[in-house]
């Protein structure tokens, strides 16, 4: 059983773990457990796996009426988690973080079923910290995670990512054809997640004319919430080299086309970009628990493997930051080389080996 979700940063590693296990052990039965109404309830079946939903929801940090229902949702979810475990009889349970992993791992641990936690971020989430005390193995994506977890059960594996981004060579021409890019122009790839990042979008909007005038082309994922607004503004501008997309599915082609990447610093994005090995400018989201995106980014900035541009400074400073890399070949090469050194291409395989080790 694999539990967790809420965001792509939890869901996609969970699916990657299942795919890697299935490749090695094709006769295995899987059951995912997610939170009702969250994106895993759609994404997991699309990947070919069964999923059950729990009514669990998060506890809001501010005083809200929704917090009154929290104890009831938690108790209902614990009851259903016990029932699912009793019926499915798993050999092991994997928790990837997010609301649903709490009740399921708690119920599994009370039954004596081996549990493995996969922590994607450089700053551990509360659910994973609590559950780790009785987990047999904790797989982490960053070194020096002993501040959050017991060292004797830690394995530094990295985050599992999709296979298609492992090999980008030879894909540039296909990328140019897919996105309408020109072979003789430097490409800036801008990513703000599937829903979008308002600050990043406004920063591109403000600087897009100057970017095009400098000879750059921009491949821009604006996200679902902002696409119509951004697309309309680009059309009004009359600019030809600003290619705005609601969502980019062919991420391997997008990465192959990029000379520089601007991105949020979610755990999965950071892990993917390590494998891609291109110069990166991280603009961490300030609206996440414990400011973990800044901590993710700083783990790379401290190794001279990325540039940090604060969310509060991004609007008005995007182009000058891009220029500082585009116009300095040595700096661009150093950033690309250093981020590649931090890649963990065998993460899924190492997590599978850790999981095999705890199953009786």
Percentage of the chain modeled with pLDDT above 70: 96
- Same structural domain, 108 and 186: no
pLDDT greater than 80 at residue 67: no
Q: Which pLDDT score is estimated for 61? A: 52
Segments in the chain forming alpha helices (H): 8-24, 40-46, 70-88, 101-110, 126-131, 172-179, 198-213, 227-237, 251-257, 267-276, 292-301, 311-314, 318-326, 329-341, 347-358
- Same structural domain, 293 and 323: yes
98 is in an annotated binding site: no
272 is in an annotated binding site: yes
Per DSSP bridges, beta strands 115-119 and 186-191 are unpaired
For residue 114 the two structure tokens come to 């081996």
Q: Which pLDDT score is estimated for 64? A: 59
- Same structural domain, 146 and 173: no
The rounded distance, in Å, linking the Cα atoms of 351 and 164 is 19
8 is in an annotated binding site: yes
- Same structural domain, 289 and 269: yes
269 is in an annotated binding site: yes
The rounded distance, in Å, linking the Cα atoms of 255 and 302 is 23
Three-state DSSP string of 277-299: CCCEEECCCCCCHHHHHHHHHHH
258: left (phi over 0), alpha (psi -120 to 50) or beta: beta
- Same structural domain, 111 and 155: yes
pLDDT greater than 90 at residue 163: no
pLDDT tens per residue across span 29-47: 999 999 999 999 999 999 9
355 is in an annotated binding site: no
| DSSP letter (8 states) at residue 97 | S
Q: Which pLDDT score is estimated for 176? A: 97
- Same structural domain, 118 and 146: yes
| Over residues 195-199, mean pLDDT | 91
How many residues would you count in the chain?
Answer: 360
Q: Which pLDDT score is estimated for 142? A: 92
274 is in an annotated binding site: no
- Same structural domain, 248 and 134: no
66 is in an annotated binding site: no
The rounded distance, in Å, linking the Cα atoms of 48 and 206 is 41
194 is in an annotated binding site: yes
- Same structural domain, 270 and 350: no
pLDDT tens per residue across span 269-306: 999 999 999 999 999 999 887 899 999 999 999 999 99
- Same structural domain, 187 and 74: no
Q: CATH number for the domain including 108? A: 3.40.50.2000
pLDDT greater than 90 at residue 193: no
For residue 69 the two structure tokens come to 């229902």
- Same structural domain, 53 and 114: yes
Number of domains in the chain: 2
H or E segment and range at residue 223: none
- Same structural domain, 225 and 320: yes
What's the whole-model pTM score? 0.88
- Same structural domain, 185 and 273: yes
Categorize the per-residue pLDDT at 9 as very low, low, confident or very high, splitting at 50, 70 and 90.
Answer: confident
346 is in an annotated binding site: no
| Host domain of residue 232 | 164-341
76 is in an annotated binding site: no
pLDDT greater than 60 at residue 17: yes
248 is in an annotated binding site: yes
């Amino acid at each position: 059983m694999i539990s967790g979700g809420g965001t792509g940063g939890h869901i996609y590693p969970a699916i990657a773990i299942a795919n890697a296990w299935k490749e090695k052990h094709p006769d295995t039965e899987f059951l995912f457990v997610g939170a009702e109404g969250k994106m895993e309830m759609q994404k997991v079946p699309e990947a070919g796996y069964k999923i059950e939903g729990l009514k669990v929801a998060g506890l809001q940090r501010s005083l809200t009426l929704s917090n009154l229902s929290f104890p009831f949702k938690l108790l209902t979810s614990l009851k259903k988690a016990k029932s699912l475990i009793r019926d499915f009889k798993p050999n092991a349970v994997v928790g990837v973080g997010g609301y649903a992993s709490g009740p399921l791992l708690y119920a599994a641990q009370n039954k004596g079923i081996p549990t493995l936690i996969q922590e994607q971020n450089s700053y551990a989430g509360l659910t994973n910290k609590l559950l780790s005390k009785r987990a047999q193995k904790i797989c982490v994506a960053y070194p020096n995670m002993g501040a959050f977890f017991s060292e004797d059960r830690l394995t530094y594996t990295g985050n599992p990512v999709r296979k298609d981004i492992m090999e980008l060579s030879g894909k540039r021409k296909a990328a140019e054809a897919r996105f309408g890019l020109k072979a003789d122009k430097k490409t800036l790839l801008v990513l703000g997640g599937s829903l979008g990042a308002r600050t990043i979008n406004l920063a591109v909007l403000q600087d897009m004319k100057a970017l095009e005038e400098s000879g750059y082309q921009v491949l821009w994922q604006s996200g679902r919430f902002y696409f119509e607004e951004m697309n309309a503004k680009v059309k009004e501008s009359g600019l030809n080299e600003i290619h705005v997309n609601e969502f980019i599915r062919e991420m391997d082609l997008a990465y192959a086309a990029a000379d520089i990447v601007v991105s949020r610093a979610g755990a999965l994005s950071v892990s993917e970009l390590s494998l891609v090995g291109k110069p990166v400018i991280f603009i961490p989201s300030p609206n996440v628990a414990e400011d973990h995106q800044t901590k993710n980014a700083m783990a790379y900035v401290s190794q001279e493997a990325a540039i940090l541009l604060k969310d509060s400074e991004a609007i008005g400073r995007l182009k000058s930051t891009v220029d500082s890399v585009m116009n300095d070949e040595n700096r661009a090469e150093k950033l690309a080389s250093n981020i590649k050194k931090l890649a963990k291409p065998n993460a899924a395989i190492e997590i599978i080996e850790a999981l095999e080790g705890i199953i009786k």
